[in-house]
Chains A and B, each alone.
Chain A
Amino acid sequence: MLIFERSRPGRRGAAGAPVQAGGASEIPPHQLRAKPPCLPEVSELDAVRHYTGLSQRNYSIDTHFYPLGSCTMKYNPRACNALAMLPQFLARHPGAPADTGQGFLACLFELQEMLKSVTGMAQVSLAPMAGAQGEFAGVAMIRAYHDSRGDAARDEILVPDAAHGTNPASAVMCGYRVREIPTDVDGNVDVTALGRAVGPRTAGLMLTNPSTLGVFERHIVEIGNIVHGAGGLLYYDGANLNAILGRVRPGDMGFDVIHINLHKTFSTPHGGGGPGAGPVGVNAVLAPFLPLPVVGQADEGFRLLDERDAPHSIGRLGAHLGNAGVLLRAYVYMRMLGAAGMRRVADFSTLNANYLMAELRRAGFQVAFPRRRASHEFIVTLKALRDETGVTAMDVAKRLLDKGFHAPTAYFPLLVPECLLIEPTETESKQTLDAFVAAMKEILEEARRDPQLVKGAPYTTPLRRLDEVKAARDPDLAWKPR
């Protein structure tokens, strides 16, 4: 039932009511609203019960193992939330001067410093409000760099065919053409093809390492040399930083500009699809182009740097200073882990992924790159199973929901057929991984014994399989009163 269907004319909650609900008005009558908006009229209890009930129709990290590849669904420590929501931080107006928020700004400044330390970059801006916005900022800085040198011929961004869809979309938003680079049989960028693709039109290469195929890009040094040799810059998509945190730094790999997904590697909540945060880091050459604001430190304390401090900045990405509350959560998380904890993230996420990969192979599943180590994630391909039984990756994903697990990412990356991209993260125990393997094994047996059972899944979720084709063909995007 929708909240609108619970509505009764005249019923209302009191929690939002102001002390004085009225008084003088100077709004001309022709500017006034004639008909009130369609908002529900419910009591506070109605609303609390309705939304508590809806929450229970979700799978989440707090309730289920959530091995969604490429999304790093690790535990979101409650302390991060509690400390970011201290009343003074929540009450802080973004326009309040720096001298009224030195504690707040100290956290953000130190977050910049810690991100520099773990990535090996010279400068960081916290401004981007999501990974995709970080990508946009990163590519915009690449463009600003070439423009500053009068090098206007560079109109192409190279992107491996395994990349996230955001990479080419971000490049296009910065006015670039996109050229795809193929992947070799072991999941590496095809270096020969890259060598042929680069030239005076190359603005840069966007690369995720470890890649979305769940393997470390072994030729990274050579790739860097090829791109730099052609005058292009190297962009690091931080989607998979979790796999190498504290062990390998993007700056040391030769990347010129990076973005970091705080909602992945630094455990800020995904919130049902945001808010995230996508800080960008750069080497010293690109530092003048960083998006604003950046937190600076001077004798009088911390303050936000603006256009007067950074006239070559690519500009602003949001009205204020980014998703500050998300940044505070990441700050608390990083302080709780400390230097030793950073490396443990890479160690145990990699241990879990390689263990799960080994156990699933033992259980009869085929992995996409059997000759490679897993990074913090790996790909199972169900092409053989589909050919044998008709059961697809989507069917297996739905059946996992019945077994009490959120499904892995299905059908991404696009170049591996019938794939599941599985990322267990470091915060899951061996016992949880073993239970997942047992469930996958059961599904494999079910697929062979009774494929229709698997194809009909899920059965135990609040709803059975939903008709996405109908939703797109006949869009119903808002409720209307009958």
Chain B
Amino acid sequence: MPFIPHTDQDIREMLAAIGVAAIGDLFDEIPPGLHASALAGMPPALSEMEIARLMDERAGRDGIWLNFIGAGAYEHHIPAAVWQIATRGEFYSAYTPYQAEASQGTLQVLYEYQTMMASLTALDVSNASLYDGASALAEAVLMAVRAHKSSRRVLMPLTVHPSWRRVVRTIVRNQGVEVIEIPYDTGAGSTSLEALGRWAGNELAAVVIPQPNFFGVLEPVDELADWAHANGALAIAAVNPTALALLKPPGEWGTRGADIAVGDGQPLGAPLAGGGPYFGFMTCRKDLVRQMPGRIVGATLDRDGRRGYVLTLQAREQHIRRAKATSNICTNQGLMATAATLYLALLGPAGLAGVARACHANTLALVSRLTGIRGIARAFSGASFHEAVLRLPVPVAPVLRALRAQRILGGCDLGQDYPELGHALLVCATETRTGDDIERYGAQLERLIDRPPRSAAGAAGRGS
């Protein structure tokens, strides 16, 4: 019996100790009409060898692609040590560190994690991680509304990742929070003070400021943060952690700095893995910590005066406060935060900056190669970090499909979320792309633009 150690003799002895004749007797409190018959549709068991073969076959069929998609999830090199250590059973198969004395490993890792994230964002405190960047942004919006007390209105630039905006809508919808979308400057590709201007004088709980934004473009973060504060709103930064090795951190934006920073931690050691698990990070100013959702680890002393770590400020949380908690969040994404801590320790400040510079340079090289093709141009004038929007002379979907025939994932088609941009394609080249990769993409795209795929004249296809 897979994973069940009982011998026939064990079972006999255990039933005798309980005083029943058969295991079925232990279910005699369940109303008879509720007992399930055979599970229709549940396949028979596979041995480890059989399931390994099935999974190998399916993975092999999917294969590995030359990837130029970013759009919120980024292909980075992950040092081998990260997942070899993170999947040690002592980390992998432990639970939330409720018994602190038996969980100092996990707790110290999370304390180190909090230190790294607070420093990366230049804010005072970090929680021990949330589910992903999008849900972290939703939690930040709710946190700002709690902190503000009188306003439940939040300004959300359209340059925030479209999926993140959808998630925020889903999560805050039933709590009377008004999320107002702010248009972008179509020339620069970033949020302008003019667009915010019409909301000046209104009571606002927060302004969300993405950096870089969904188009890869750098926002005027100093001006936006100052505008938020001048209008009595908190500034919520939604940032890419790799970029923060190079870019001014949220805690230093404008004269006062952002109040809350969130982001998706995936670039810090989480494989793309089809969409997860990743983790969300959240840091904030010290005076907001009691409004923060999620687990927080703090340092303390043991009976002998030695430094140790515990879950703390639990009076915010659902298992204590129940209906009055800051959030319903129970677990964090502990193992992903562990991997991120390993990743950041293995890279160090110079290593992370090196990765960020390589991403930036590779994306500029990609943009330069692709805009060298007749009819392709950058959509925006604003400076980019590691993504850029290109305008193609032909519809994007058929081009991407034709590139797939060459095992290339050419980027993210913006037609669905930003139809006003025309044939717009969001491309990304991280440090994992080489000059040869970029040339291969350039050559294939050049061929396709010169001789557009036959379906290019038709409407954009489904699911591409």
Contacts and interface: CB of A to CB of B under 8 A. Distances in A.
Contacts of B156: none
Given A81-B92, A320-B73, A91 B272 contact: yes
Contacts of B69: 93, 95-96
A336 B27 CA distance: 25
Interface in A291-321: 291, 303, 314-321
Interface string A263-285: 00001011111111000000000
A340 B35 contact: no
B27 A36 contact: no
B454 interface: no
Interface stretch (B124-132, B143-151, B195-203): B124-132
A314 B358 CA distance: 40
A101 interface: yes
A318 B280 CA distance: 10
A59 interface: yes
Interface in A400-444: 401, 406-407, 409, 412, 426-430
Contacts of A171: 323
B65 to A, nearest CB: 6
Interface in A32-89: 32-34, 36-42, 44, 47-48, 50-52, 54-64, 66, 68, 71, 73-77, 79, 81-83, 85-89
Contacts, number: 706
Contacts of B289: 475, 477
A32 B62 contact: no
B94 A272 contact: yes
A322 B275 contact: yes
Contact of A479 (B38, B111, B248): B111
B361 A407 contact: no
Contacts of B272: 90-94
Contact of B335 (A131, A269, A412): A269
A465 interface: yes
Interface string B32-74: 0111101111111111100110111111111111010101110
The number of chain B residues touching the other chain, given as a range, is 35 or more
A464 B303 contact: yes
Nearest to A21: B354
Contact of A27 (B58, B98, B247, B310): B247
Contacts of A101: 62, 274
B21 interface: no
A154 interface: no
B6 A471 contact: no
A337 interface: yes
Given A47-B81, A95-B69, A116 B41 contact: yes
A81 B298 contact: no
B131 A91 contact: no
A355 B14 CA distance: 6
A232 interface: no
Contacts of A66: 95
Contacts of A33: 244-249
B34 A248 contact: yes
Nearest to B461: A97
B43 A338 contact: yes
Nearest to B93: A61
Contacts of A456: 303
A390 to B, nearest CB: 17
B376 interface: no
A153 interface: no
Given A178-B322, A341-B1, 9 more contacts: A39-B116, A55-B88, A61-B94, A89-B274, A100-B63, A169-B323, A221-B34, A466-B101, A472-B313
Nearest 5 A/B pairs, CB to CB: A62-B89, A23-B361, A338-B45, A103-B58, A271-B335
